[in-house]
Amino acid sequence: MSSPSAPSSAWAAVDERRLWARHEKMARIGATPGGGVNRQALSPEDAAARQLMVRWAQDLDLTTATDPIGNLYVRLPGTEAGLAPVLTGSHLDSQPTGGRFDGTYGVLAGLEALQAIRQSGVQPRRPIDLVAWTNEEGSRFLPGCMGSGVFSGLMSIEELRPATDWNGTTVESALATLHAATPDVPTYAAPPPHAYLEAHIEQGPLLETADTTIGVVTGIQGARRYAVEVTGEEAHAGTTPLKNRRDALRTAITMVAELNREMEAGGEAVRFTVGRFDVEPGSPNTVPGRVQFSIDFRHPDLTAMKQLGGRIEPICQANAGSCSVYVQLIDDMPPTAFAPAVVDLVDRQTAALGYSKMRLPSGAGHDAMYLARVCPTGMIFVPCEKGISHNEAENAKPDDLAAGARVLTACLVELTDA
């Protein structure tokens, strides 16, 4: 229970300007000329973002911890030692041309909540651990959500260590560099979480279009990620007749065209993206011998996801021609339904604070989909400008960010007393 003398309105201590100022400061780390950030997972910029978090935590007299996969934890202690903590957070890594709010907002809203709770005099029964999860984005190293995946026991760090980025750097070596950047941070130790609540910008247009401040998130659609490798044969562009070629690029383009055709026929709910395409040797006058491309496939319905997803490898094989193709399924996350009790809590606290709200599922993936496998989990969305995300132009309003942080704070206080 909160101490009798403490006001129960920790949310009232959320400071919009302080929260915005931290966003501005964080956005300087990895800032891009286009106004976004390039702070890819386990990069020097990612390490600098964590160092800043550690400094902010120290300024607030909060303790920090880390773990082998590099998650960074900031703890607000509870009054009853040893109780399972309530977790909140998101990620500080970004897309290569990412925005200033994707992930960062959930981490900074969490820090704002911890500060507001402390400032208000409310004494939580359970500890509240704010977490910056490692490599949520999955753009430099696949799969994404490595930090929350390992934390939840659904991924094995031993299997992730040899994974390489597009330049051949391994997760293992990048993690060693990351840990070296915060050498005095001890290892995290806590019982499994009591609950997890993540704040995030919506990354879509629904809230803004409906002029609504808070999204009460009901779940997350399913997602699969594949790496496809097409192998042909390098040949001279001037001498090799077209019919004699084993052109890996021409083959890969045919595969992608066929996949797009099938996915478009699959209905409005399908999301299908080839976002990375690497051609080797990448010379204008050599027939490409090898192409690697990525596939990101999502659907809210498990049956449809299995049916359409099951078409991906056969389509690649059927269009391989004289080349060979290797289709690797890297990540397969079924749709996630959040815990009704947490969804209801967010709904109720949003109403109590007087914000407009709507229930909606998440089209984007989040660390919450892994946490949902180990504890009652939910998410809070706030609007972002024109729904633009994974784009340097991503933007959000200070008052919406503060509203989400207030709802988060009120929910965390309730969860810590349960």
Q: What are the two backbone dihedrals, phi and then psi, of residue 13, each rounded to the nearest 5 degrees?
A: -90, 0
Which residue, 364 or 415, is less far from ligand GLV as judged by CB? 364
Which residue, 308 or 364, is less far from ligand GLV as judged by CB? 364
Task: By CB under 6 A, name the one of 45, 46, 67, 137 that touches ligand GLV.
Answer: 137
State in angstroms the smallest separation of the CB of 49 from Mn ion. 14
Which residue, 13 or 146, is less far from ligand GLV as judged by CB? 146
Element spanning 226, H or E: strand 222-231
Integer angstrom CA distances of residue 176 from 63, 171, 179, 185: 22, 9, 5, 14
Residues 210-249, interacting with ligand GLV (CB under 6 A): none
Number of residues that bind ligand GLV (CB under 6 A): 3
Which residue, 146 or 364, is less far from ligand GLV as judged by CB? 364
Q: Is 121 left (phi over 0), alpha (psi -120 to 50) or beta?
A: left
Residue 412 binding target from ligand GLV, Mn ion, none, CB below 5 to 8 Å by type? none
Residue 365 binding target from Mn ion, ligand GLV, none, CB below 5 to 8 Å by type? ligand GLV
Beta bridge partners of 360: 217
Residue 327 binding target from ligand GLV, Mn ion, none, CB below 5 to 8 Å by type? none
Cα dihedral sign, 104-30-182-175: positive
DSSP classification of residue 346: H
Which residue, 293 or 381, is less far from Mn ion as judged by CB? 381
State in angstroms the smallest separation of the CB of 379 from ligand GLV. 12
Which residue, 225 or 245, is less far from ligand GLV as judged by CB? 225
User: How many residues are recorded in the chain?
Assistant: 418
Query: Could you tell me if 360 and 64 are in contact, meaning their C-beta atoms sit under 8 angstroms apart?
Result: no
Q: Could you say whether residue 142 binds ligand GLV (CB under 6 A)?
A: no
Which residue, 49 or 364, is less far from ligand GLV as judged by CB? 364
Structure tokens at 145: 């959500």
State in angstroms the smallest separation of the CB of 250 from Mn ion. 32
State in angstroms the smallest separation of the CB of 145 from ligand GLV. 8
State in angstroms the smallest separation of the CB of 390 from ligand GLV. 7
Residue nearest to ligand GLV (CB): 365
DSSP 46-76: HHHHHHHHHHHHHHTT-EEEE-TT--EEEEE
Q: What are the two backbone dihedrals, phi and then psi, of residue 339, each rounded to the nearest 5 degrees?
A: -65, 125
Q: Could you say whether residue 400 binds ligand GLV (CB under 6 A)?
A: no
Query: Is the peptide bond preceding residue 33 cis, with omega within 30 degrees of 0?
Result: no
Beta bridge partners of 378: 197
Task: By CB under 6 A, name the one of 99, 289, 365, 383 that touches ligand GLV.
Answer: 365
State in angstroms the smallest separation of the CB of 100 from ligand GLV. 14
CA gap 117, 139 in Å, rounded: 35
Residues 6+ apart with CB under 8 A from 168: none
Q: Could you say whether residue 394 binds ligand GLV (CB under 6 A)?
A: no
CA gap 52, 40 in Å, rounded: 16
Q: Could you say whether residue 288 binds ligand GLV (CB under 6 A)?
A: no
State in angstroms the smallest separation of the CB of 326 from ligand GLV. 23
State in angstroms the smallest separation of the CB of 53 from Mn ion. 16
CA gap 231, 228 in Å, rounded: 10
Residue 394 binding target from ligand GLV, Mn ion, none, CB below 5 to 8 Å by type? none
Q: Could you say whether residue 335 binds ligand GLV (CB under 6 A)?
A: no
Tell me the three state secondary structure of residue 362: strand
Strands 128-133 and 63-66: unpaired
Which residue, 67 or 93, is less far from Mn ion as judged by CB? 93
Binding site for Mn ion (CB under 5 A): 102-103
Task: By CB under 6 A, name the one of 364, 384, 396, 401 that touches ligand GLV.
Answer: 364
CA gap 39, 19 in Å, rounded: 20
Q: Could you say whether residue 89 binds ligand GLV (CB under 6 A)?
A: no
DSSP 340-382: HHHHHHHHHHHHHHT--EEEEEESS--THHHHTTTS-EEEEEE
State in angstroms the smallest separation of the CB of 96 from Mn ion. 11
CA gap 296, 304 in Å, rounded: 15
Structure tokens at 227: 């790496």
State in angstroms the smallest separation of the CB of 366 from Mn ion. 6
Which residue, 223 or 287, is less far from Mn ion as judged by CB? 223
Which residue, 364 or 407, is less far from ligand GLV as judged by CB? 364
CA gap 334, 111 in Å, rounded: 30
Q: Which residues bind ligand GLV (CB under 6 A)?
A: 137, 364-365
